[in-house]
Chains A and B, each alone.
Chain A
Amino acid sequence: MPTEPRLGPRAEVVRGTLEMLALRLLNEEPMHGWGLSLRLREISRDVFDVNQGSLYPALQAMLRRGWIRAEWRASENNRRARYYRVTVEGQKQLDVQIAEWQRTSAAVNRVLRYAFSGA
């Protein structure tokens, strides 16, 4: 039996990018895992196919590195849910990653622009 399709028509978010996006969203407000996955889908207008399950290993990795913290709280519909919040270290990390991303994407954009204008 083939496993579930991992690469669909939508781009799969690579792990590093997923961490950056999650940090960015959690930096606005603490959220639980499902809430975070929903926001990712909404904001990216479903372009990013965040394989929902793979969000949890990423969150655990960030917990381990001390970028985020987790606590159990009552959710909006009064159920127990695990909320994640960015730590000071996580904010620093976010700044670093955003800077890095902007540098990379600017460079890629330059290359693309040159390629098209040169055609």
Chain B
Amino acid sequence: MAWYHEIASSLAALVRRPRQDAELSEEMRFHLEMETKRNIEMGMSEADARRRAQREFGRVELHKDDTRDERGASALFDAWSDLRFAIRSLRHRPGLTAAATLTLALGIGATSTVFGVVEHVLLRPLPYAQPEHVVAVWSAWKGFERTWLSYDEWEGWKARVPAFADIALYSDGAATIDGDSPERVRSTSIQASVFPILGVRLARGRGFTADEDRPGGPSVAVVSNELWERRFGGDPSIVGKHVQISGSDRVIVGVTPAGFQLPQDYAGGERTDIYFPLATDANSQGAVPGPAFPKGGASHGYYAVARLAPGATAAMANAQLRTLVAELEQFGYMANVNFRAFVVPIEEQITGRVRPVLLVVLGAVVLVLLIACANVAGLLLVRGEARRRELAVRVALGAGTRRLARLLITESALLATIGGVMGVTLAWVTVRLLRTNAPAGLPRLGETSIDWAVLLVAFIVSIVTALLTGVLPLAHATGMALSGELREGGRGATTGRARLRWRQALVAVEIALAVVLVAGAGLMIRTVRNLLTIDPGFRADGVLTMRVSTPTVFYPDSTRVISYWDDVERRVAAVPGVKHVAAVRLLPLASEMGDWGMVIQGYTPPPNQGAPGDWQIVTPGYFETMGLTLRAGRTFTASDNDFKSPLALIVNRAFEQRYFAGRRALGGRVRIGSADTTKWYTIVGVVDDVHHNTLIGIVKPQFYATLAQFALAPGSTRRTMSLVAKTDGDPKALVSAVRAAVRAADPRLPVSEVRTMREIVDAAIGGQRFAMATLGVFGLVALVLSAIGIFGIVSQVVASRLHEFGIRAALGATPRDLMVMALGSGLRQAMTGLAIGTAAALVLTRVLHTLLHGVTPTDPLTFGAVVVVTGLVTVIASVAPARRAARVDPNAVLRVD
């Protein structure tokens, strides 16, 4: 095949098209004239001769098209002319075009946004080498579903679990970068093998050596890429520099790569900015050196991460841990508390909680997209109705079905393209909003961005919508081409039937999908309401919180720490609007709290079990600030926060029920820690349980001690505390005044994590709230689109039956009769849709199962409300067009004939 002929022909077709077209017309005209002449010579009349010639030749426009197609590059031309035609026809109906593009933009935008989130949160690999081989290792026992490891366990698992290639410990905290503008950042102390286990290669410098990771080792640190850029201006010679951190001099040995985070960083949504060597061993842990276990267990305080040995799986690791733990139990280790050890694949660990939420949202957005497509297809069908004659003329002039198909598909494609561009813009805006307002507690959500993958998906979705919305109008148009619309006469009341049936089916589908979405939204709303009605044990409203640390360099002893907090509280209390102020070790629902072993007078724990209590350290005023309910006794007074006063303890109801069953807790005596030397506390008050770790689930025994007395016994000075300030007004309004007051007390100490208690509570149910918000918005969109669909149907029915209504009116039907008749035409679809949708929703809402709280996936109340709401929406949407039927003027209608 001579390719240069092809190219020359295509080029000529591009450059000389008008001339070639003129020549083609002339050539065919010549043919027809010659044929006519020949027919006349054969004895026909001129009219017959011409008709015969035309019949023999066939459809001129069709042959012209076919000939053009043979020129080469014709696809381009046709596309261009189709496009121009599509633009023109869409501009002719701005209302319809706007409705269709907006609907598509909504569908495509929502789909792109959700896909962007799913891609970044679930699909994008974690910043670890072969993350499928990395697992988090946990311990568990009664009351602790997922808790830390002890040093002994680490030694034991490392030596005796063959499925682990290596396992390492780390522990999180906070550090202050000293200097003119001190900064509080999240820090984590890691064993030297944490980086190799995660398979991270440092961007600069190196990780820690074994020599650095021992007690008394060199004072070194690794910083995150983000801190390096922000705080050190990307200094290329950072490695080897000395930096003052939390009052001690540290040599920076490395910088992590951009985007790197420890597994535990994802849980809190905060990145570790400084890494220290964990620098611990069995001796400094009070643990048994080597892979051996003390009977009672020891302090459990480390996160652990492990890399699986080649060929090993998480299931194998779990099986080996189970065997090992059973063996330890025989020996008496952590007996009678149902001790377990297990691994969780790191991906599941990090995104496991958010996965069900996102999958539900992804499913919901696909439903929204389908509704949008159904709606646009419906709109195009209406337009097809109005264009019947135009298309019929085209068919009569010889336009083939293929040509017609191209034309209609081009129109859908154009709509989808405009919708796609608007949709991507919408997605861009939504993602920006999402990044700044990422609900806490949903890891990686804030990383979402519109990237090439998202754009590609938006593109594919646009093409799919073009096909979905184009195919139905197309089927009708081609049907039309075969059935010869022209002969049908002008009215076409009956021919519209088939199209109407299609639209009715589409609207029924829309309503069914809307019911599913609204049902999902309803269940989530009920869940969030249920969660919000759980009494957390404190009053979140009006409470402002912020974290402050008192490092040893500035505050070498507990006396100074206590007087610092006294000073801060005095200054903050003086801020206008502040009613109560206090300090607390851990804010409820903001972080998990571990326990401390106790000795309780008159209580003998079962064999091999201690008497653990969650330990909350506060300053007097905490109970008033947080609105805890006092059940017995008194709250702390200023004199309790003093070394010289008698040691006073306040306990929660769970504490009283567990350790003082049948006795009065008030006046009971408790020793914190098992050492015989620690002093006895006396219980002076009992307060209601506070949900500390999670909003749902059981509350464990908890005690409250004052900052000063806890520093005395068991002798632990809490250096990081959260300030809590209560106001009657908006706590946000107090931020700058309270900050200024804290700063005035000591400008060297940075303030971090400024939040309201309300924000913390909201974040605790972030997943459910996120699902509720998205399903709510999608449900609303679905309702609006279905309403538009119903509105369109009833309008069309009324328009096509106006004549009939006129006759009926003339024969004595009242406007009321006519209105009922018109309403009925839409309500049948609504009923079908409601029935199908309810049935589908009853099955589909099961996927929400893990997210729901206090409501079943088939909650009758929710479903009843959904049916009523959706039904009402369809009735309201039908009323306006039905009114037109009621107002029909028989004279005007009948005179048209």
Contacts and interface: CB of A to CB of B under 8 A. Distances in A.
Contacts of A104: none
B5 A65 contact: yes
B294 interface: no
Contact of B71 (A53, A60, A89): A60
A52 B57 contact: yes
Interface in B451-490: 484, 486-487
B9 A63 contact: yes
A57 B63 contact: yes
Contact of B57 (A53, A61, A89): A53
Interface residues of B, number: 35
Contacts of A81: 27, 30
Main secondary structure of the interface of A (DSSP, over half): helix
A81 B59 CA distance: 21
A52 B56 contact: yes
Interface in A70-89: 72, 75, 79-82, 89
Interface string B64-83: 00111111100000000000
Contacts of B69: 57
Interface string B1-38: 11011100100000000000001101110110011001
A60 B793 CA distance: 48
A38 interface: yes
B58 A53 contact: yes
Given A60-B70, A63-B9, A80-B26, A53 B63 contact: yes
Given A1-B487, A32-B30, A81-B30, A53 B60 contact: yes
A37 B55 CA distance: 15
Contacts of A53: 28, 57-60, 62-63
Nearest to B58: A53
A53 B65 CA distance: 11
A34 interface: yes
Given A38-B38, A65-B1, A82-B23, A56 B30 contact: no
A38 B5 CA distance: 28
Contacts of A63: 9, 70
Nearest to A89: B2
A62 to B, nearest CB: 9
Interface residues of A, number: 29
Nearest to A41: B56
A54 interface: yes
Given A34-B34, A54-B66, A64 B60 contact: no
Nearest to A6: B58
Interface in A85-113: 89
Nearest to A64: B9
A105 to B, nearest CB: 25
A17 interface: no
B738 to A, nearest CB: 82
Given A1-B487, A33-B31, A54 B63 contact: yes
A51 B58 contact: yes
Contacts of B57: 52-53
Contact of A57 (B2, B23, B26, B66): B66
Interface in B571-596: none
Contacts of A65: 1-2, 5-6
Contacts of B38: 38
A70 to B, nearest CB: 9
A41 B24 CA distance: 22
A65 B6 CA distance: 6
A87 B486 CA distance: 47
A79 B34 CA distance: 10
A51 B57 CA distance: 6
Contacts of B35: 34, 52
A61 to B, nearest CB: 4
Contact of A56 (B1, B4, B5, B28): B28
A60 B30 CA distance: 17
Nearest to A49: B56
B70 A61 contact: yes
A57 B64 CA distance: 8
Contacts of A32: 27, 30
B23 A64 contact: no
Nearest to A61: B70
Given A64-B9, A65-B6, A81-B30, A54 B58 contact: yes
Contacts of A58: 70
A4 interface: yes
B31 A64 contact: no
B55 A4 contact: yes
A96 to B, nearest CB: 12
A64 B63 contact: no
Interface string A29-51: 00011100110000000000001
Contacts of A4: 55, 58-59
B684 to A, nearest CB: 99
Contacts of B6: 64-65
Contacts of A37: 31
B67 A56 contact: yes
Contacts of B72: 64
Contacts of A75: 30
Contacts of B67: 56-57, 59-60
A1 B483 CA distance: 6
B30 A34 contact: yes
A54 B27 CA distance: 13
A50 B400 CA distance: 20
> Most chain-A CB neighbours within 10 Å: which of B9, B27, B55?
B27
A72 B19 CA distance: 13
Interface in B33-53: 34-35, 38
A52 to B, nearest CB: 5
Given A57-B63, A80-B26, A81-B30, A64 B70 contact: yes
Contacts of A64: 5-6, 9, 70-72
A97 to B, nearest CB: 14
A79 B27 CA distance: 11
A79 B32 CA distance: 13
Contacts of B58: 4, 51-54
Contacts of A57: 63, 66-67, 69-70
Contacts of A82: 23, 26-27, 30
B220 to A, nearest CB: 75
Interface string B323-334: 000000000000
Contacts of A56: 24, 27-28, 63, 66-67
Nearest to B5: A66
> Most chain-B CB neighbours within 10 Å: which of A51, A66, A79?
A66
A66 B2 CA distance: 7
Nearest to B483: A1
Nearest to A36: B31
Contacts of A89: 2
A37 B70 CA distance: 19
Contacts of B68: 60
Given A1-B484, A4-B58, A64-B6, 15 more contacts: A4-B59, A32-B27, A34-B34, A51-B56, A53-B57, A53-B58, A56-B24, A56-B63, A56-B66, A57-B63, A57-B66, A64-B70, A66-B4, A80-B30, A82-B27
21 contacts: A1-B396, A1-B484, A33-B31, A34-B30, A34-B35, A37-B31, A51-B58, A53-B59, A53-B62, A54-B58, A54-B63, A56-B24, A57-B67, A57-B69, A57-B70, A58-B70, A60-B70, A63-B70, A64-B71, A80-B30, A82-B27
**Pairs of residues from A and B, 8 with the lowest C-beta to C-beta distance, nearest first:** A66-B5, A53-B63, A1-B484, A60-B70, A57-B66, A53-B58, A64-B9, A61-B70
